[in-house]
Chain A
Amino acid sequence: MVVHIPILIIISPLLAAFLVLLTRKYKIILSIASLIASIVFISIQSSRILYGDKITYHLGGWQGPLGINLVVDELSLFFSLIVLGLGLLIVVYSIPERHYGRTYYFLLLISLSSMIGVIYTADIFNMYVFYELLSLAMYLLIAYPKTGVTLRASFNYLIMGGVGLSFFLLGVGFLYAMTGTLDIFHIAEKMSVAFNSNTRMVLMSFVLIATGMGIKIAMFPLHGWLPDAHSMAPSPISALLSGVTVKIGIYVLIRVTYSIFSAETFFTISSHAILMVLGAGTLLFGASMALVQTDLKRLLAYSTINQLGIVLIGLGIGTELGLIGALFHVLNHAIMKSTLFFCAGIMIAEAGTREIKGLSGFNRQQPAITFAFVIASLGMIGIPPINGFASKLLICLAAIEAGYTVLVVIILVASAISAAYYFRVIQVLFSSPLEHSPIPTHGEGQVVHRGNFFRAWPIYILTAGCLLLGLIPALGISLVKPAVGLLLSHVVP
Chain B
Amino acid sequence: MGSSKIIRTIAQKLFPFIVLFGFYLISHGHLSPGGGFQGGVVLGTAIILLALSHSIEQTEKKFKSRWLNMLEKLGILTLIFLGFLGIFLGYSFLSNFLPLGNPGQIASGGLMLLLNIAIGIKVAAGVSVIFYALVRYRGEI
Contacts and interface: CB of A to CB of B under 8 A. Distances in A.
B93 A7 contact: yes
Interface stretch (B1-9, B21-29, B52-60, B72-80): B72-80
B75 to A, nearest CB: 9
Contacts of A120: none
A148 interface: no
Contacts of A274: none
B73 A59 contact: no
10 contacts: A7-B83, A18-B80, A19-B77, A21-B73, A59-B92, A59-B95, A60-B86, A60-B92, A61-B96, A62-B95
Contacts of B73: 18, 21-22
Interface string B82-111: 011011000111111000000000000000
B125 to A, nearest CB: 13
- At the interface, is chain B mostly helix, strand, loop or mixed? helix
- At the interface, is chain A mostly helix, strand, loop or mixed? helix
A486 interface: no
Range of interface residues on chain B?
10 to 19
A21 B86 CA distance: 24
B92 A18 contact: no
Contacts of A22: 73
Interface string A10-27: 010011001101100000
Contacts of B80: 11, 14-15, 18
Contacts of A61: 86, 91-92, 95-96
A424 interface: no
A22 B94 CA distance: 23
B77 A60 contact: no
A152 interface: no
A354 interface: no
A57 interface: yes
A490 interface: no
Contact of A18 (B76, B83, B87, B93): B76
Interface in A25-69: 57-62
A4 interface: yes
A58 B83 contact: no
Interface of B: 73, 76-77, 80, 83-84, 86-87, 91-96
B76 A4 contact: no
Contacts of B92: 4, 7, 57-61
A60 B76 contact: no
Nearest to A6: B93
A11 B83 contact: yes
Contacts of A62: 95
A238 B93 CA distance: 33
A15 B73 CA distance: 11
A236 to B, nearest CB: 24
Contacts of A7: 83, 87, 92-93
A18 B126 CA distance: 14
Nearest to B84: A11
Contacts of B91: 61
B94 A59 contact: yes
A56 to B, nearest CB: 11
A11 B93 contact: yes
A11 B83 CA distance: 10
A290 to B, nearest CB: 36
B96 A60 contact: yes
Contacts of A18: 73, 76-77, 80
A196 B55 CA distance: 63
Given A1-B87, A11-B80, 5 more contacts: A4-B92, A7-B93, A11-B84, A18-B80, A60-B94
A59 B83 CA distance: 10
A249 B95 CA distance: 30
A188 B105 CA distance: 39
The 8 A-B residue pairs with the shortest CB-CB distance in the complex, in nearest-first order: A61-B95, A7-B93, A60-B94, A60-B95, A61-B92, A61-B91, A4-B87, A18-B76
